[in-house]
Amino acid sequence: MNTKFNRWVTCPFPQPDAALRLFCFPFAGGGASIYRGWGKLFGSQVEICPIQLPGRENRFSEPAFKEAQTLAQALASQLQLYSDKPFVMYGHSMGALVAFELTRVLQANGMTMPEALILGAHRAAHLPRTRETLYNLDDKTFIERLQRFGGFPEEVLASADLLQFLMPTLKADFTLCDTYVYTEQEPLNCPIHIFSGAADPEAPPAVMEDWRQHSSIDAHMHVFQAGHFFIRSDLERVTETLKTILPLSQTGIASTQHA
């Protein structure tokens, strides 16, 4: 199949002979570019496909989604265009919530399921939010709260013009997270891997552990000695851990066993 990528599913470094795709979902305010460098980390056997959500980068003119389940429905039809190969999904923070809801849509509709679902830096979906809501704060207070997460570039936070430009998407993303309502469904028929930063005040390992109950097959916990944005500060370790998770019998990537 000669796959053509689109505005939703990007692929900076196509690997047409790859046996596996890794779909990557961004955190709040982030775009597909945060995963651009991953395309060179896994060799020719894994095709890295960052998801580009509306409201950012080359899709800035499109309104960002404010509701996780609605976004998941839109994404489900897109991913089915790329189900000719086995795939794994990784979502970070807001991206974890979106990837989780997307996988539930796939299962409920009898669509192709991922070989594994990898969820990073977001509390288990059924747990109540413990921090304050952010989406309804005034812009100044909202930015002050964002600085606590420690993952937004300082040049962005220091630029009033750039922040004003990004504010609609940031507010929409936090609306999606802060107003999310969990609904009970059957556990997922795929393994779950849980990525957590030991120093993450937003999603420490204690609240990440509860993702285990959402898989009917198996779940594994992986803890990084880092904060909320460990995919930036501890990328080498994240990469090595991912290589232990990807279906190596298909990809042939040299790797160590699970920690």
Q: Which residue ranges form the domains of the chain, and what is each CATH number?
A: 20-251 (3.40.50.1820)
127 pLDDT higher than 90: yes
* Predicted local confidence at residue 149, as pLDDT: 66
Predicted pLDDT of residue 33: 95
pLDDT > 90 fraction of the chain, expressed in percent and rounded:
75
Cα separation of 163 and 183, whole Å? Answer: 34
**pLDDT of 258 higher than 50:** no
Residue 105 amino acid letter: V
How far, in Å, are 37, 148, 153, 159 from residue 67 at the CA level?
A: 29, 24, 26, 28
Cβ density class 27-53: b for 16+ within 10 Å, e for less: bbbbbbebbeebbebbeebbbbbbbbb
Model pLDDT for residues 176-219, shown as the tens digit of each residue:
999 999 999 999 999 999 999 999 988 999 999 999 999 999 99
Better pLDDT: 15 or 148: 15
Cα separation, 257 vs 140, in Å, equals: 46
Model-level pTM?
0.91
What is the pLDDT at residue 162? Answer: 80
Residues 57-67, mean pLDDT to the nearest whole number: 96
Please give the residue that has the higher pLDDT: either 28 or 257: 28
User: Is-catalytic flag, 233?
Assistant: no
Catalytic residue among 33, 83, 93, 255: 93
| Confidence band of 139 (pLDDT split at 50, 70, 90) | confident
Amino acid symbol at 119: L
